[in-house]
């Protein structure tokens, strides 16, 4: 496995591209040297095994967020185990693909959105690796890597996939879709897309010092739109299939053009430098052991 120790004398780190596949994206067939491998995590069981593969020599790690066959609802996903397992698999740069509803007239089904902000409306999910025994507070002011977003935008342009430049993603618990009142409320907040999975995923990626970006793939207009039917699974699945094929093309293009050295991301690379506030002598050794992959650089 690749680890944080895979650096040269100048401190350059080999890039390992991680992909989290959302609804509809459960596999990446046709990659080089592909094998599924289980990665154990002290935080529990990840959604599935991780696909270890390469694209033109670039190491790639793929994890289906809901598991192959879509076994897990959004609230049943062990987000901590997923991020920890990807970190243990050597991932340096993580791209999340997520099926979402649109809260904007000009983001129709089939539109891709390069999200740059989140609003977390989830309630009962484990949202941090830290807590009693080892407290840390990372910044989420800028939750995505601008370099990753630029690389994604270029890959999409080369594949002629239409993508917006920015967007705010409101994350709800689900598994039910929103009421009309909720949908209209989120529109009044200035949210652009709505989904059920990118929180606490984005927060945990930041705690694990992983550069992170989200591609929101619009499947529907949620239920706010007066001239479109309310959200139903059949309609979502039809658009999702088309989106998934485009996503696979984008991933292949991104892998072929991605820098072979990890592109610096100060927001993520040094996220824990001033985040851990518990004095070393007061840290719970059991928690510290569980944090060996996530925060080993600092602990």
Active site (catalytic) residues = 220, 222
220 is in an annotated binding site: yes
102 is in an annotated binding site: no
The answer to whether 211 is a known ligand-binding residue is no
Determine if residue 99 is labeled as part of a ligand binding site.
yes
Q: How far apart are CA 67 and CA 64, in angstroms?
A: 5
- How far apart CA 153 and CA 113 sit, in angstroms, is 10
Q: What is the DSSP letter of 35?
A: E
Q: Is 180 annotated as a binding residue?
A: no
> 232 a known binding residue?
no
b/e 68-77 (16+ beta carbons within 10 angstroms → b): eeeebebeeb
Measured in whole angstroms, the distance separating CA 221 from the mean position of its chain's CA atoms is: 22
Q: Is 126 exposed, middle or buried (0-12, 13-18, 19+ CB in 10 A)?
A: middle
* 65 annotated ligand-binding residue: yes
Is 128 flagged in the annotation as binding? no
| CB half-sphere exposure, 107, CA atoms < 13 A | 28
Residue ranges of the binding site:
23, 65-66, 98-99, 196-197, 220-222
Residue ranges of the binding site for phosphate:
23, 65-66, 98-99, 197
Residue ranges of the binding site for substrate:
196, 220-222
């Amino acid at each position: 496995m690749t680890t944080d120790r895979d650096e040269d004398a100048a401190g350059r780190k080999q890039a390992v591209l991680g992909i989290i596949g959302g609804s509809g994206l459960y596999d990446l067939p046709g990659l080089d040297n592909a094998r599924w491998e289980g990665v154990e995590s002290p935080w529990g069981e990840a959604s599935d095994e991780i696909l270890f593969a390469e694209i033109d020599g670039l190491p790639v790690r793929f994890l289906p967020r809901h598991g192959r066959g879509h076994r897990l609802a959004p609230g049943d996903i062990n987000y901590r185990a997923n991020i920890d397992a990807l970190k243990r698999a050597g991932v340096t740069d993580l791209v999340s693909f997520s099926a979402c509803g649109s809260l904007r007239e000009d983001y129709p089904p089939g539109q891709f959105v390069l999200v740059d902000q989140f609003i977390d409306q989830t309630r009962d999910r484990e949202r941090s690796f830290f807590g009693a025994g080892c407290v840390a507070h990372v910044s989420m002011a800028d939750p995505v890597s601008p370099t990753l977003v630029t690389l994604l935008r270029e890959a999409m342009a080369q594949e002629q996939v239409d993508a917006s430049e920015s967007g705010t993603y409101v994350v709800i618990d689900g598994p039910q879709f929103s009421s009309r009142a909720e949908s209209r409320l989120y529109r009044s907040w200035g949210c652009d897309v709505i989904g059920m999975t990118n929180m606490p995923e984005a927060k945990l990626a930041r705690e694990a010092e992983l550069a992170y970006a989200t591609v929101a793939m619009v499947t529907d207009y949620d239920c706010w739109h007066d001239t479109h039917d309310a959200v139903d699974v059949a309609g979502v699945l039809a658009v999702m299939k088309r989106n998934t094929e485009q996503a696979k093309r984008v991933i292949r293009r991104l892998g072929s053009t991605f820098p072979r050295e990890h592109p610096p991301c100060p927001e993520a690379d040094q996220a824990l430098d001033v985040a851990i506030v518990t004095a070393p002598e007061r840290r719970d050794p059991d928690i510290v052991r569980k944090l060996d992959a996530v925060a080993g650089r600092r602990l």
